[in-house]
Amino acid sequence: MNYIEPHAHMVSRTTADYEAMVQAGCVAVCEPAFWAGFDRASPQGFYDYYRQLTEYEPARAAKFGLPHYCWLCINPKEAEDAGFAREVMALIPEFLDKETVLGIGEIGLNKNTRHELEIFEEHVALATKHDLPILIHTPHLEDKLKGTKLIIDALKNARVDPSKVIIDHVEEHTAGLVLDSGFWAGMTLYPESKCTPARAIDILETFGMEQIWMNSACDWGVSDPLAVIKCALEMRKRQHAQAIIDKVIYENPRSFLSQSKNFKA
């Protein structure tokens, strides 16, 4: 089966993961900017990170014949210092013309604070100015529902085209809210948190197969870069037709990502 990995933090993975993904049928991988596992001390650290995402990581993936794309932002975990965040955001326009940049992301909320929301809104304005798709991170656990509602309200206030926005890390209590508002929804497959394959398939069977994708969001923590294809195999066990599986793991992400002029699959 061919599939697209639409959300993976490959800078934290080894080349063995690239090889395994290609062998499993991955035809493109997309990497949102995010937290490095520690707070960066200066805007220069982000400048180097953006170079890594736009220059070095695509070259590393290309050695295995795998196209690598990225999203750019300052993540919500480092957005509480609004002054620092704006210094970092001032660097982003320099990289938006790079041929593998898809849009702005993963922006969003972490602890649902006022400063996080301010920086989120400024990211949205940047994406709108450059007519770019947006990928959004929703908070964890008990903050997820509140954060998702805040995000949707901010997007509606900004009059953003919902078809160009994917709100990621949805779970049972937020998937309907996102989809009913016209946005795309992303489900993250984690072994210890977010969605297990069984839960993700339950969500698909409950809310339908339109405007939704699955991703591994694999990073430096406990995660699996092959989570999407493993979930596809679980869909087979539940007797889902191959056309439905292909829609979720390939056609849907291709449809959303193709809104970026740089994406080719």
- Which CATH number belongs to the domain containing residue 203 in this structure? 3.20.20.140
Closest CA to 53 of 103, 2, 108: 103
What average pLDDT does this structure show over 151-159?
A: 98
> What pLDDT score was predicted for residue 37?
85
Q: What is the pLDDT of residues 54-101, one digit of tens each?
A: 999 999 999 999 999 999 999 999 999 999 999 999 999 999 999 999
pLDDT of 214 above 80: yes
In a domain, 262, yes or no: no
In a domain, 90, yes or no: yes
In a domain, 72, yes or no: yes
> What pLDDT score was predicted for residue 56?
98
Q: Which of the two residues, 141 and 30, has the higher pLDDT score? A: 30
> What pLDDT score was predicted for residue 36?
87
> What pLDDT score was predicted for residue 265?
80
- With bands split at pLDDT 50, 70 and 90, how would you rate the model's confidence at 140? confident
In a domain, 229, yes or no: yes
Radius of gyration of the chain (CA): 17
In a domain, 265, yes or no: no
- Percent pLDDT > 90 in the chain is 94
- With bands split at pLDDT 50, 70 and 90, how would you rate the model's confidence at 194? confident
In a domain, 116, yes or no: yes
> What pLDDT score was predicted for residue 160?
98
The least confident of 78-82, 108-112, 141-145 is: 141-145
Range of the domain at 82: 3-257
In a domain, 222, yes or no: yes
User: What is the rounded CA–CA span in Å between residue 191 and residue 212?
Assistant: 20
**CA–CA distance from 237 to each of 53, 157, 197, 233 (Å)?**
36, 43, 12, 7
pTM of structure: 0.96
In a domain, 76, yes or no: yes
Cβ-count burial of 3 within 10 angstroms (0-12 exposed, 13-18 middle, 19+ buried)?
buried
Count how many domains the chain has. Answer: 1
Contacts of 208 (CB under 8 A, 6+ apart): 179
- Mean pLDDT score of the chain: 96
> 28 with 66: CB under 8 angstroms?
yes
pLDDT of 11 above 80: yes
pLDDT of 192 above 80: no
User: What is the rounded CA–CA span in Å between residue 77 and residue 123?
Assistant: 14
